[in-house]
Structure 1
Amino acid sequence: MTRRTRRGRRTTDGQTEPQGLARLDDQDFPALTMGQAAELLGVQPAFLRSLDAAGVLIPGRSGGGHRRYSRNQLELVARMRALLDEGLTLEAAVRVTGLEDELGRARTRIAELEAEASEQAGE
């Protein structure tokens, strides 16, 4: 178990981790600049800007207004790029990724319900 202190997060071994480092574990924390994200994904920054302009991907913003991307957003961009490379339109790629995400959430919920049912049956 961890708990927060004024200087950061105290870990189970009693060490204090700086607050900023704790956010790096957060998949939704917008830590990467547009240039870093584009380089990691092998795309042009213009591609990321186009997804933002289309409302498909809304990156965080730095204090100076620069786009910042999270790891979850990078995964979405990679999935979108693969679908676009297969010949899908942007609209179709958005729909496919949305349906894939819904299916993943449904499968997770089914697994939870099955686990609950197994627990209740074993009581």
Structure 2
Amino acid sequence: MPDVPGPTDRAASAFDDVDYPAYTMGRASEILGVTPDFLRSLDNTTDLLTPTRSGGGHRRYSRKQLRLAARVRELLDQKHTLLSAASRIAELERDLQETRERLAEFETPPPGRGSEFS
């Protein structure tokens, strides 16, 4: 019989998943020290932060999204506009993706050659 994850395994997996939408709007705003309106504005006015919706239509946020919202708040506190903050974050995400792709090129052995340490 194959191993089937039990409830605690699933819960632990979701807890470790930075993309799991674990936080309600109220809890997310409390953690970040912002108003629910601030979080709504990120959802309604930018493509930066789109929370998952529960079956009842309520916004649910992941840890990754909370970090992003905190960064936006930080940039706004530094007198950036919402648009410039969103643009800056999008630019940094593109740079990060390009860097990851370049690193992957170095980690992949050239065709026809195996790992020297095999």
TM-score, length basis structure 1: 0.78
Q: 1:38 aligns with which of 23, 29, 54?
A: 29
Match 1:101 to one of 93, 102, 114 = 93
- Alignment partners' CA distance in 1, 2:37 and 2:79: 19
Instruction: Tell me what 1:23 maps to.
Output: 14
What is the identity percentage for the equivalent residue pairs of Structure 1 and Structure 2?
A: 41
Which runs of no fewer than 5 residues in structure 2 stay unpaired?
none
Cα distance per residue 1:74-100 (max 9 Å; x no partner)? 111011111111111111111100011
Report the TM-score when normalising by structure 2. 0.81
Task: Supply the AA of the counterpart residue of 1:89.
Answer: T
1:38-97 alpha-carbon deviations (Å, 9 max, x no partner):
111111111001111113321111122111101111111011111111111111111100
Match of 1:59 in 2: 51
Moved over 6 A (4+): none
Structure with greater strand percent: 1
In the alignment, the residues of structure 2 paired with residue 51 and residue 4 of structure 1 have an alpha-carbon distance, to the nearest angstrom, of: 41
Using CA pairs below 8 Å that are at least 6 residues apart, which structure has the higher relative contact order? 2
Superposition map of 1:105-116 within 5 A: 105-116=97-108
Partner of 1:13: none
- Report how many aligned residue pairs link the two structures: 113
Distance, in Å, in 1 between the alignment partners of 2:3 and 2:39 is 35
CA shift at 1:121, angstroms?
9.2
- State the shift of 1:28 in Å: 1.2
* Residue type of the alignment partner of 2:89: T
SS, match of residue 108 in structure 2: helix
Q: Structure 1: any 5+ residue segments left out of the alignment?
A: 11-15
In 1, the alpha carbon distance for the partners of 2:30 and 2:114 equals 51
